[in-house]
Amino acid sequence: MNIEQRVEEILSQMTLQEKIGQLNQVKAPLKADEEVFEQIRQGKIGSFIMATTAHAGNDDTVLTENLLINKMQRIAVEESRLGIPIIYGRDVIHGHRTVYPIPLAAAASFNPELVEKCYRNIAREAAADGVNWTFSPMLDLCRDPRWGRIIEGPGEDPYVGAVMAEACVKGFQGENISDKDSLVACAKHYIGYGASEGGRDYHRTEISDYNLYNYYLPAFRAAVNAGVGTVMSSFNDISGQPVTSGKKYLTDILRGKLGFDGFVVSDWDAVSQLKRQGVAETDADCAELAINAGLDMNMTDRVYINNLESLVESGRVSEETINTAVKRVLKIKLQKGLFQNPYCDAREIDRTVHLKDARTLAAESMVLLKNDGVLPLSKKSRVALIGPFVRERRALLGSWTLDGKAEETANFAEAMKSVIGANMLLSDDNIAVLDNSIARAVKADVVVLALGESEKVTGEAYSVSDISLPKNQVELIHRYKVLGKKVVGVFFCGRPMAMEGVAEYLDAVLYAWHSGSETANAACDILFGDVVPNGKTAVTFPKRTGHIPMYYNVTSSGRCVNCYYGENPQNCYVDSLPTPAFPFGFGLSYTKFEYGEIKADTDEILLDDLIDGKSFKITVNVKNTGDFDGKETVQLYIRDKIATVMRPLRELKGFEKRKINKNETECFTFELGYDKLGFYTENGEYTVEKGEFEIYVGENCLTKNKITVRLT
C-alpha cells in the first residue's frame, strides 16, 4: 500500500475530533503530566514542540527527556484509538550538541557542499535525542541588520538564499527522510518577516508582489524544489494582510505557484494573534481565517482544537478543508517513517568528525575585512590578548543555541594559548581597569583585541536601534592604537556592525561572527596562518546605522546618486558618504588573485534559442599570484540594462569556490541560460526579455571586470 492509500485509509477511520487533534501542536511537558497523557489517548495532540517559551532562542530551553518522549509516543501508538504517532519538533537551527556558525555566517562561507555536510551532522545528533522535525532553515531575506533575527538567515541576496536553502534542506532530510538520522525540515518564516519596518521584530511589512517574487520567494522556491517537508508561516502582515490568514500567500502562491505539497505550521501563537492584528474578533474567527487560508497545524495557542469542531458544525469551515489539512500532516508522518519507527533509541553520537567539520565551516565563514600586512601572525610573536571577549564562551555559540554547552566551548584565550603558549600575554583586567593590560601590551609584538556583541542582543525579540560597536570597545581600540603597536581586531558578532570610526583604527579586522563550538579555535587557525581566510560577506557592512537600508542589488536612481556604487554619494546625505564600509561578496585573503578578461562563447543569442535551452558560456581565468595556496569565491553578476520594469544594477547569478595553488591558474566557467536571465512579473509569471546584459565576474559585487552580451 502506498502512502496516499494509507493516508486515505487512516482518514476514513477518524472522527472529526481526532482529525482536529492532528492539527494541534502543544508544548512538550518536561515531566510526566497525566492531563497531557489523557489528551494523547483521546487523539487530541498531533505534535509536540520541544520548547517552553516563544523565545526559545535566548531562553534556557531544556530538552524533554528521552524516556518521557518515548512514554508519550507509546501512549499515542498503543493507547489511542488509531495509534497515530506524534511528531516532535524542536528549534534545531544551526546545531545541536555541536554548534555550527549562525546561518548568516555560514552563508559567508559560500560553500553549500560543506553546509549540507554540517547540517547532516546536526540532523544525526538531534534525531538521536528524539527530535523528528526541525524548525529550520530560516530563509528570510533581510536588508536591515538592526533586526535581531538577521543572524538566522542567509543575508540580503536571493540567489545565496536559494543555494543555502537547498543545502540545508538536503542536509537535514538526507537521501531519505524516513532514515532515523534524518529530520523533517521546515522552511520559515513564510513570508516577508525579514522586511519588518525599522528592524523591529514582529512589525508590519510593505512588499510589492514584484519584490515578493524576485527577492523574498526564491529561497522558499528552492526549499520546495529540494523537497522540504514543512513550511512555517510568518507573524507579519504584507501590505495589511496577515500571512497567517492570507490565502493568497499560503495557498495560491505557496501551493499553486511554488508547488509545495507538505504541511504548513503556524509560528508560536500566531493564529490567536490575528485578533491583535485586527482582522478577527474571537478565537473562532482566528481559526476560521487560518484554516481556510491553508494553514494546517496550529502551534501552541489551541485555537484549532478549541474551535474547529463547532466551526464545522456551523458550516463556517468545511470538513473537507479539515480533511485536506489532516492528510498533509499524516503524509509527512508516514514519509518520516514514524508509523514504522516511532521511538527514540537514544543513540550515542561520536562527535569527533562533527567538531572537525564545525571548525572547518567556522574558518570558511570568517571574513578578513582588512589586513595592512600584519596577518598572519608568527607563532613566535608575543601577543597581548585583550578585550571583553577574551574569556567569553556562551556568546560564541550565538543565539538559537538550545542544546550546545558553553562549558564545552573553548574561549579565545584557551585557543590562543594552545597555539603560542607563554607568548600569549594575558591580563586579568576588565575593560574599566586597563593598567596591567597596557603594561603587557607594551611588551608585545602585536595586540589582538577580542571584540563583539553578546548573543543576548541578537535573535528573536532582540533587535537594536544602533549597530555601532559599544563605546567602551571603541575606546579600547583607540587606547591601544596610540601605543604604536600593530592592533588586530577580532569581532565575535551576530550581525554586521557599523565600521566607521572602527576599522580605520585597526591594522587588521577579522570578522569571526558567532561561529559555534569551534569559533575560538577557527579564529586562531586564521590568525596564525594554518588556514588562509576565504569567507565573503553575505550582507553589506554599512559605515553607519543611519545608512540602513543598504544592499547591493538596488535599482538605479533617476538621478546620478547610485551611492552603493560610488556615484555622487555626497548627494545622498550632506553629513556622510553612504558607500558601504565593506560591500556584498567582499573578503580578503593572505594571497592575491588576479582575474583575467571575461570571455563568452558568443555575444548574441536569439531569445527563442535561449528558451529552447541554449545558453551563454562565460569563462574567466583566475591566477593565484601570492605566496599562499588559497580558496577564492569567483562571483558572477548580471545587469539587465533595459527592461519593462526597473532591474537591479547588479544581481548575483552564480558563484564557485575553489582552491587555487600559488602561481597556478584556474579556469572558471558559468552558464547563463533562460533560468538566469529573467525575472518575475507582479503576477508571478517568469519572463525573459530581449536586450543587452552586462556580465560581471570578479571578487565581489563592485568588480569592474565586465562584458556585454545580447538577446535578440
Which residues carry out catalysis?
A: 267
Grid coordinates of 90: 524542536
Distance CA 456, CA 462 (A): 7
Cis peptide upstream of residue 648 (ω within 30 degrees of 0): no
Virtual CA dihedral for 55, 400, 105, 562, nearest 10 degrees?
A: 0
CA distance 439 to 425: 10
| Bridge partner residues of 623 (DSSP) | 594, 665
DSSP 8-class letter at 184: B
| Nine cell digits for residue 293 | 487560508
Q: Which residues contact 484 (CB under 8 A, 6 or more apart)?
A: none
Q: How many CA atoms lie within 13 A of 90 on its CB side?
A: 27
The three-point CA angle 556-562-567 to 5° equals: 140
The greatest distance separating any two alpha carbons of the chain, rounded to the nearest whole angstrom, comes to 81
Q: How far apart are CA 273 and CA 696, in angstroms?
A: 46
The four Cα atoms 273, 277, 280, 282 give a dihedral, to 10 degrees, of 40
Q: What are phi and psi of 135, to 5 degrees?
A: -90, 65
> Do residues 311 and 284 lie in contact, with contact meaning Cβ atoms separated by under 8 Å?
yes
Residue 190 · residue 218 · CB < 8 Å? no
- Residue 407 to residues 404, 446, 517, Cα–Cα distance (Å): 9, 29, 10
Is residue 427 a contact partner of residue 440, using CB atoms and an 8 Å limit?
Answer: yes
Cell representation of residue 466: 544602533
Rounded to 5°, the CA angle 177-180-182 comes to: 45
Q: Which helix (H) or strand (E) holds 11?
A: helix 3-12
Cβ contacts of 612 within 8 Å, gap of 6 or more: none
- Cis geometry, peptide bond prior to residue 549 (ω within 30 degrees of 0): yes
Residue with cell 533586526: 147
Cell numbers placing 697: 565576474
Identify the CA nearest to 141 among candidates 204, 188, 94. Answer: 188
Contact 614, 654 (CB under 8 A): no
Other beta carbons within 10 Å of 562: 16
Q: Grid coordinates standing for 49?
A: 514542540
Give CA 78 to chain center in angstroms. Answer: 39
Strands (E), 380-535: 383-386, 424-426, 446-452, 486-492, 508-511
Which parts of 351-481 fold into alpha helices (H)? 352-365, 394-397, 412-420, 435-443, 471-481
Residue with cell 541554449: 614
Instruction: Name 557's Cβ contacts closer than 8 Å, sequence gap at least 6.
Output: none
d(CA 76, CA 84): 6
- The single-letter DSSP state of residue 149 is G
